[in-house]
């Protein structure tokens, strides 16, 4: 048995690149802020706000390390802040609560989000069996349209004021016409993306277009007035309904958003006017083109987040790029001028995500094991069908009472799991295996703690009682691909399985190939090519076993290294150099 080292025709290439964090601009440190103005009103488009209100002022220099935090200025006792890293080729946005990273979003030119975008699509296939259709909207993958998302139906809408397009639908097939009676192949429809393409699936779309503004959501084609369920005061709900009745465009429904509570009538009038003008433009543009075509693009990541999330609940938004700072400030002054003094420009030389200790936390989200503060840990495994989360005590140091120790570990996990779901942006079906507890009271306490922490999540969640097997099942709304999809690709070695063949298994595979060749041909020599690390094992640990086969079949076996091969690959060639892997492998 001989060993040959083959120099591959193409050397393995390793991509090289240096990631340079965007530095703050200007000589001075600290932050730059623009003072706020008195409360005013403006449309969602940012064109109607007045421009008064003080100039920029430069704050004192902030020392290196974690940026200072003040007492919460927003509603509640939690200090909430949004940190924006604008690098030109990508924008990253992190949400922190009391300095802890809880939510993260990223936008790149080649991975631009499309939720909320409006397309003109052409029906390419109708599937009566699942009451759905596929549309060509000009993307790589066809868009999925369910019958429940085809026509405006108030009974089927979950009127959640925080939705940015479509919302969830409760399917009631008996009340609807079959999809094949409503549309046919070749029809052109105006649709809005409600779910990003995920994995092998294309985007999910709805024909029920909704346009979110700062204070209201406009629903063309519907006759409905709604007020956010989070606004509970009766007098305020009545006031908002009266305002909406007065300014609602004909043929459109309107829902007021939570952030609209307490806003003056003029703010709603401007918001509705701008959204209705946007809808009219969408209709005009759609009439001019044939499908497939992009008709309307939703806001960028940063402005969309400000529109939907940034409110009095947040204490500040800090950004490290002066141009992005100016854009954000201009937009905030147009929609919520009273929040303008919470916009800050970061100018320290330390990269902003390092200064806020965000980078290390992001790296941890790529690991399946998550250590908790008291020594326990979670194992998060994401499969195609569901997400499985296992809790272990690990190095957890609790009281001598075992039940009490397990309870404390489970309670900590019930707090950490919702944070990890938000941070990793993973959803669908989630199955949680808490550590077994004997007390029914303790099990209920853990479930209640889980539900309490899930309330902070902007995505819709639903939890179910503990099953007979002691598992907690829950669902989380999945709108975008998980965060890991932006940072990782399928492993070329294992194909995403997370495992490669053991050395003994690969040796057995080579032995089977040698036996097949020895029994089926009279060739004098067989060349076996494997990864260099596999070649080392075959020539050392597997030497005697392969030598026995050489003697048995009077066949010389040459083990050759091939750096281009993966760890599981085995290629075989006859004595004339012809590959015979397909025949004998």
pLDDT tens digits, one per residue of 214-237: 999 999 998 889 998 888 899 999
Range of the domain at 36: 31-106+302-359
Same domain for 279 and 205: yes
Same domain for 63 and 48: yes
Q: Which helix (H) or strand (E) holds 285?
A: helix 265-288
pLDDT computed for residue 153 by the predictor: 57
Same domain for 203 and 62: no
Q: Using one digit for the tens of pLDDT, what is the confidence trace for 177-207? A: 899 999 999 999 999 999 888 878 899 999 9
Q: Answer yes or no: is pLDDT of 33 > 50.
A: no
Q: Using one digit for the tens of pLDDT, what is the confidence trace for 471-506? A: 999 999 887 777 777 767 777 777 666 778 899 999
Average pLDDT over residues 121-143: 94
In a domain, 575, yes or no: yes
Instruction: Measure Cα distances from 5 to 192, 340, 533, 563 in Å.
Output: 57, 66, 12, 9
Residue in 281, 265, 302, 275 with CA at minimum distance from that of residue 214: 275
Same domain for 471 and 378: yes
Say which DSSP state 459 is in: S
Residue in 131, 282, 322 with CA at minimum distance from that of residue 192: 282
CATH code (residue 199): 2.40.50.140
Same domain for 325 and 309: yes
Average pLDDT over residues 76-102: 89
| 3-class secondary-structure state, position 294 | strand
In a domain, 21, yes or no: no
Same domain for 532 and 479: no
**Phi, psi dihedrals of residue 454, rounded to the nearest 5°:** -70, -20
Q: Using one digit for the tens of pLDDT, what is the confidence trace for 567-583? A: 899 999 998 999 999 98
- What is the count of structural domains for the chain? 4
Lowest-confidence segment of 258-262, 396-400, 560-564 by average pLDDT: 396-400
Q: How far apart are CA 23 and CA 351, in angstroms?
A: 6
Q: How far apart are CA 471 and CA 510, in angstroms?
A: 43
Residue in 548, 580, 546 with CA at minimum distance from that of residue 3: 546
pTM value is 0.71
Same domain for 260 and 152: yes
Tell whether the torsion through CA atoms of 181, 185, 191 and 194 is positive or negative. positive
Same domain for 259 and 135: yes
Same domain for 275 and 144: yes
Instruction: Measure Cα distances from 349 to 17, 64, 90 in Å.
Output: 21, 9, 19
Q: Answer yes or no: is pLDDT of 169 > 60.
A: no
Q: DSSP assignment of 539-557, as one string?
A: HHTTHHHHHHHHHHHT-EE
Q: Answer yes or no: is pLDDT of 534 > 70.
A: yes
């Amino acid at each position: 048995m001989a060993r040959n080292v083959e120099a591959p025709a193409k050397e393995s290439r390793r991509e090289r690149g240096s990631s340079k964090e965007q530095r703050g601009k200007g000589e001075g440190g600290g932050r730059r802020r623009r003072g706020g103005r008195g409360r005013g009103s403006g449309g969602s488009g940012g064109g109607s706000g007045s421009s008064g209100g003080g100039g920029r002022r430069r704050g004192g220099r902030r020392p290196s390390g974690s940026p200072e935090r003040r007492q919460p200025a927003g509603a509640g006792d939690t200090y909430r802040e949004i940190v924006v890293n604008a690098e030109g080729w990508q924008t990253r946005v992190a949400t922190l609560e009391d300095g802890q990273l809880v939510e993260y979003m990223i936008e790149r030119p080649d991975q631009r989000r499309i939720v909320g975008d409006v397309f003109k699509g052409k029906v390419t296939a109708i599937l009566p069996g699942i009451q759905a259709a596929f549309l060509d909207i000009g993307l790589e993958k066809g868009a999925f349209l369910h019958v429940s998302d085809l026509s405006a139906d108030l009974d089927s809408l979950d009127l959640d004021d925080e939705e940015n397009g479509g919302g969830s639908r409760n399917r009631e097939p008996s009340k609807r016409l079959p999809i094949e009676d409503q549309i046919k192949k070749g029809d052109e429809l105006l649709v809005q993306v409600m779910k990003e393409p995920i994995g092998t699936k294309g985007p999910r779309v709805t024909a029920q277009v909704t346009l979110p503004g700062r204070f209201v959501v406009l629903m063309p084609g519907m006759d409905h007035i709604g007020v956010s369920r989070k606004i509970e005061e009766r007098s305020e709900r009545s006031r908002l309904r009266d305002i909406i009745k007065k300014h609602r465009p004909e043929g459109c429904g309107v829902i007021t958003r939570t952030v609209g509570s307490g806003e003056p009538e003029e703010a709603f009038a401007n918001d509705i006017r701008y959204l209705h003008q946007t809808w009219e433009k969408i209709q005009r543009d759609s009439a001019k083109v044939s499908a497939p075509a992009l008709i309307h693009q939703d806001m960028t990541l940063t402005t969309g987040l400000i529109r939907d999330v940034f409110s009095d609940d947040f204490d500040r938004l800090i950004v490290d790029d002066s141009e992005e700072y100016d854009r954000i400030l201009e937009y905030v002054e147009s929609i919520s001028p009273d929040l303008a003094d919470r916009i800050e420009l970061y100018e320290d030389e330390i990269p902003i995500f390092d200064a806020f200790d965000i980078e290390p936390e992001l790296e941890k989200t790529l690991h399946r094991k998550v250590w908790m503060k008291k020594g326990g840990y979670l194992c998060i495994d994401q499969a195609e069908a569901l997400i499985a989360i296992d809790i272990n005590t690990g190095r957890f140091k609790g009281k001598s009472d075992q039940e009490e120790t397990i309870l404390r570990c489970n309670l900590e996990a019930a707090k950490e799991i919702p944070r990890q779901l938000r941070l990793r942006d993973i959803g669908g079906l989630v199955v949680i295996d808490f550590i077994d507890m004997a007390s029914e009271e303790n099990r209920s306490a853990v479930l209640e703690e889980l539900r309490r922490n899930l309330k902070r999540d902007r995505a819709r969640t639903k939890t179910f009682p503990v099953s007979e097997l002691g598992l907690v099942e829950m669902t989380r709304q999945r709108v975008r691909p998980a965060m890991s999809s932006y940072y990782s690709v399928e492993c070329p070695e294992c194909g995403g399985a997370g495992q490669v063949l053991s050395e003994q298994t690969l040796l057995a595979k080579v032995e089977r190939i040698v036996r097949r060749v020895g029994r089926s041909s009279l060739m004098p020599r067989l060349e076996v090519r494997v990864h260099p690390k596999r070649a080392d094992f075959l020539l050392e640990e597997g030497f005697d076993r392969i030598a026995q086969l050489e003697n048995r079949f009077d066949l010389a076996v040459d083990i050759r290294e091939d750096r281009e091969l993966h760890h599981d690959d085995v290629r075989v060639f006859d004595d004339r150099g012809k590959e015979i892997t397909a025949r004998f492998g």
